[in-house]
Amino acid sequence: MNQLPAMPLPSSEPVRDFKKIALVEDKPETQESLIQLLEMYADLKCVCVCASGEEALKQIPRAQPDLVLMDIFLPRMSGIECTARLKELLPNARILILTASADQEMVFPALEAGADGYLLKQGDPAKLRAALLELLHGGVPMTSNIARHVADYFRKRAKNRDEMVCLSPREAELLTLLARGYSNKEIAGKLSLTPETIHTYLKSVYKKMHVHSRAEAAAKYLSSQGK
């Protein structure tokens, strides 16, 4: 007797037609406005709201969101630290920084911590959904002036790297020691050269790098190394 082909068992996990969003924001009025905004869209659902980084680390892993909206300025633990720790717990979750700060000192640490995008709260609320969908599809949404900061930063690093290429192996070795804080005399001893020779090398390095001091040379070198 011919047997009928086995039928697939129904999945116990219902297929959902929306993306789960978690919100980390300490200001109640901002929480409320974001929740109301997300409720306007059937394909997005706010499943978790946290007022601190500590609360986020407890609640968000349980909620298993697809995306986290993260403020930077939170009580006690910053949003940057929370982002780094959440990425360890939920490596596949996308984290979008949504904050009032356009300060470069905040942007780059946030991205280094694992943030997948950076938007300013002052932006057009109507663009938030587009940014969320872009992020969920692998994009990296950023407010325009933030993106400009990032582009300028990497353009500067590329230029600095090009200037490093022009250095001779000996000049590059000298510059590495200089950036570590060694004096001309100490560098001379390490390279088995005279202080006068080191001075000559430094003049050549300054000219190639378009700088006028040890501090400028060290800063430019460290920037080219991404430090």
pLDDT digits 0-9 by tens, 50-60? 999 999 999 99
CB proximity list for 170: less than 8 A, separation 6 or greater = 191, 201
* Rounded Cα gap, residues 193 and 196, in angstroms: 8
Sorted by where each starts, the structural domains of the chain and their CATH numbers stand as 19-148 (3.40.50.2300), 155-224 (1.10.10.10)
- The pLDDT of 86-115, averaged and rounded, is 84
- The pLDDT of 166-176, averaged and rounded, is 85
CA atoms within 13 A on the CB side of 39: 6
Q: Residue 163: its pLDDT value, please?
A: 56
Q: How do residues 132-154 score in pLDDT, each as one tens digit?
A: 888 888 888 887 777 776 666 65
Chain centre to alpha carbon of residue 98: 13
The structure tokens 């969908």 sit at: 133
Tokens representing 52? 């601190």
DSSP 16: P
pTM of the predicted model, to two decimals?
0.61
Whether 128 shows a pLDDT value over 90: the answer reads no
Q: Residue 112: its pLDDT value, please?
A: 82
Whether 17 shows a pLDDT value over 70: the answer reads yes
Provide the β-strand partners of residue 95.
Answer: 68
CB proximity list for 43: less than 8 A, separation 6 or greater = 17, 18, 19, 133
- The pLDDT of 28-37, averaged and rounded, is 92
